[in-house]
Amino acid sequence: MTAISFLLLLLAVSTATATPPSYRELPADLPCRYGSIGVRPFAAAPDTVAVGRVSLHSPADSAGLLQGDRLIAVSSYRVRTPDELSRCIQSFSPGSTLEIEIQRQQQSLTLSCTVTDVRRLYFLMGEQKTHPGIPPAPRHRRWSARVDALEKASLNLISRSGANAEHSAFLDAMADELDRYAGDCRLRDVHHALLHPFKGSQIARELTGEFSSSPNLETYLAAA
């Protein structure tokens, strides 16, 4: 046996007996920092998560994730269900970088992906007109940029009560409703309020004069 043949044999043996990567188990108690990457997963084979949809111009899209990719781990945390993937990503702060390990057509890949949050994700899609519906108006930009005490307190309450999954599902459902809003800017205002329910008081104050309503309702909204 030549030296080259011997080396090739050693390489084949070491590859066949290589230890598979070890992953950390996802903790049961994770913080919620409202991270998002713009991917909609679904349960594939047992203990497997696959990509069902990637939002255009989202961090997932920029990282190179494709529909059908199998998601194995996120920053060394093994993810087996869509809920685990959602909780894992939401535990990272916007601006963080994730290492996402995937399988694509029997090939293992690792992709780097920057975390954003749901508000910035949908706002970006609206600005670039890649999300169906009416693009944001200047008032929507003001509302998105401003976080008041009521919104902070409400988000903290959601985090402490463990309702993060329900809140995320609510936001996903409201995003899908954009398809039905056609060209009515008032419905775009409603959509924005639904996506950011804790901004309701400031939104109502600005829009009070834009709707026909009874004097009692106007007085109520003005005092909100």
List pLDDT tens digits, range 56-114: 778 999 999 999 999 999 999 999 999 999 999 989 988 899 999 999 998 999 999 99
Measuring CA to CA, which residue among 177, 175, 182, 188 is closest to residue 58?
A: 175
Query: By CB neighbour count within 10 A (0-12 exposed, 13-18 middle, 19+ buried), where does 94 fall?
Result: middle
- The structure tokens listed for 38 are 């713009």
Name the pLDDT band for 155 (thresholds 50, 70, 90). Answer: low
Write down the domain spans for the chain. Answer: 18-116, 132-222
Q: Kindly state the average pLDDT of the residues 196-224.
A: 58
pTM for the whole structure: 0.52
Mean pLDDT taken over the chain: 72
Task: Give Cα separations from 222 to 65, 155, 203 (angstroms).
Answer: 46, 24, 10
Flag whether pLDDT at 213 surpasses 50. no
CATH class of 18-116: mainly beta
